Amino acid sequence: MSTQLPASISEETVRTISEERDEPDWLLRTRLEALSALDELDMPSVIETPGRRWTNLEGLDYESIVDPLDQRDETERVSAEGAKVLDFETALEEHPELLEEHFGSVTDPQTNYLTALSTALFTTGTVIYVPEGVDAEDVKVRAEMNSTSLFSHTLVVAEDNASATILERISNGSAVDGDRYFSNLVEVVTGENAYVQYGSLQDLDEDVYDFTLKRGDADRYATIDWIEGNIGSRLTRSDIETELNGDSSETKIVGAFFGHDDQHFDINARVWHNGEHTTADLVTRGVLDDEARSVYEGVQDVGRDAWDTSSYQRENTLMLSDDSEADASPKLIIHNHDTEASHSATVGQVDAEDLFYMTSRAISENTARNMLVEGFFVPVLEEVEVDELREDIDDLIVARLD
């Protein structure tokens, strides 16, 4: 056991949460099994360098930042013609078989301590169901966290030949004093030739500890693209993962983060190439100012049967302060020789020549620096199909520079 279970969490707690939502027996069993597994599960693995463990998830005071029976949120859900965008309780009433089939099918609730904790305690969430052949554009989920802790679960099911562009945004609503905790698990299931772009923007207060795991299962000819923007929180642990299980399936994982003060970002992107002719493109760009810190791990895992694989990964971190810190660990794991793959990571400061060129043309040093930072994020923003998400990320970057 890596972390002691908070005293406020018990079997009675979990049964209360489930009974208040009139949940079916299979979901209550899943919650209780996750609760029971907490004694044996470890925290998610984190990057370690000689003499240093970059992210201390074990050190968080879960006793004070988790209040399982007082979870409050305000969530707006905007659907698209032909698709269902439902809160979890309504989805359990209208599509019980769909949820029983797919809940926990992409992400094992017992993957680690934090996924099990989230499965046992979640009280809010969204189910997005896109039937076969439906094109669902601009699905939006805007959530506000109004309590000390909030646990959420999002399930996306896109059937054969369906497509969806989804924007999810999380921020704080009414003021709550003290440290807080937000957790969200996202599962994306695709049928043959389906397409899902899932964009998310995290802009939580800097008293919030944030844990998210987003994972997709891509079927034959399917595509799952992730856009991940992280601006807020005190500590963010973000994992984005795609299993390319179907032949000719594709994924793109695009991330952007901008930390200041003493913010900490632990960003992870992982792809498993299991089918033939699969393609992956991982792009992450981050900026750090003041005493902010980041650690990035990217993994491209090519299986033995993954013939004709293309897999690329790039991570770049720009530091604006001598006191900021960053580390990156891109990894290639290749078990099939018929593979084209590359990976790279850079950590550096604003280019002195670029800065000199701009200041020599009567642009102030601060303005020049801000222009270079905005330009640094352009390759990431160009990948965002949803105008609102792209504009929101850009606005938050500009606001942080002012």
How many CA atoms are closer than 13 Å to the CA of 75, on its beta-carbon side?
27
Which single residue is written with the structure tokens 């299993």? 243
Two tokens, residue 62: 């879960």
Could you read off the pLDDT of 333-369 as tens digits, one per residue? 999 999 999 999 998 888 889 889 999 988 999 999 9
Residues 6+ apart with CB under 8 A from 356: none
Q: What is the pLDDT of residue 383?
A: 86
The secondary structure of residue 67, as a DSSP letter, is -
In this prediction the pTM is: 0.96
Q: What is the pLDDT of residue 7?
A: 80
Asked whether 6 and 62 are in contact (CB, 8 A), the reply is: yes
Q: What is the pLDDT of residue 293?
A: 97
Question: For the chain, how many residues are written?
Answer: 402
Q: How far apart are CA 199 and CA 383, in angstroms?
A: 10
Q: How far apart are the first and last CA of the chain?
A: 45
Could you read off the pLDDT of 149-162 as tens digits, one per residue? 999 999 999 999 99
Could you read off the pLDDT of 88-99 as tens digits, one per residue? 999 999 999 999
Query: What is the dihedral angle through the alpha carbons of 69, 147, 263, 203, rounded to the nearest 10 degrees?
Result: 120
Q: How far apart are CA 100 and CA 58, in angstroms?
A: 32
Asked whether 372 and 351 are in contact (CB, 8 A), the reply is: yes
Q: Where are the beta strands (DSSP E) in 231-292?
A: 235-244, 250-259, 264-273, 279-288
Q: How far apart are CA 299 and CA 222, in angstroms?
A: 20
Two tokens, residue 15: 């049964």
> Please, what's the b/e burial string for 75-85 (b: 16 or more CB within 10 A of its CB; e: otherwise)?
bebeebeebbb
